[in-house]
């Protein structure tokens, strides 16, 4: 399949993507800041006389900054992607694909920092793409995902007997 979502009137729609807002902006800003500060510090120390800071130290600091920035970029790359078959959830460490029929409930309440899916195997799956820190936007996204789950829920067979 093309990965497109069916529309009520026929045709297809592009896959729907859920992403946090605030965490992306803050995370990317920190990633850039870390690289600038660490690389600047490494270059500054390597140019300072009698600092004992050599080329290897500069390279090590730059690599460390790149690793830290990479972790932050992974944090901001969380998303959920809905298509006709189900939902692909990419959190910080793992990516998991869930068929629509496996989603029992969508929960976004209480003190949880992000949306949670109750699955038919008894597991819960955090969807870090919808984060409480985003306020009203997050509530709207949670509702949008809940409606998608409802729209794709398996329907019981209809009785065709007269």
State whether 115 and 68 are in the same domain.
no
- 158 in a structural domain: no
Average pLDDT over residues 3-7: 42
Smallest CA-to-CA distance from 28 within 71, 63, 76 is with: 76
Domain boundary among 41, 57, 76: 76
- CATH assignment at residue 131: 2.30.29
- 16 in a structural domain: no
Position 14 scores a pLDDT of 63
Domain housing 82:
78-152
State whether 87 and 45 are in the same domain.
no
Interatomic CA distance for residues 102 and 120, integer angstroms: 5
Give this prediction's pTM: 0.74
Position 110 scores a pLDDT of 81
Q: Please tell me what DSSP assigns to residue 101.
A: G
State whether 65 and 104 are in the same domain.
no
92-120 residue pLDDT tens? 999 999 999 999 999 998 888 999 999 99
Helix/strand number for the chain, H first, E second: 3, 9
- Classified as helix, coil or strand, 6 is strand
């Amino acid at each position: 399949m093309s990965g497109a979502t069916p529309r009520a009137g026929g045709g297809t729609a592009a896959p729907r993507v859920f992403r946090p807002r605030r965490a992306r902006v803050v995370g990317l800003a920190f990633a850039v800041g870390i690289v600038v500060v660490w690389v600047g510090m490494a270059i500054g120390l390597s140019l300072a006389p009698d600092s004992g800071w050599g080329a290897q130290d500069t390279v090590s600091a730059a690599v460390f900054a790149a690793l830290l920035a990479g972790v932050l970029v992974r944090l901001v790359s969380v998303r959920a992607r809905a298509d006709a078959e189900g939902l692909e959830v990419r959190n910080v460490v793992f990516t998991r694909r869930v068929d629509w029929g496996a989603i029992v409930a969508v929960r976004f309440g209480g003190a949880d920092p992000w949306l949670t899916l109750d699955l038919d195997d008894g597991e819960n799956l955090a969807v870090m793409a919808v984060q409480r820190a985003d306020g009203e936007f997050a509530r709207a996204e949670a509702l949008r995902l809940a409606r998608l789950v409802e729209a794709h829920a398996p329907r019981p067979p209809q009785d065709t007997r007269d």
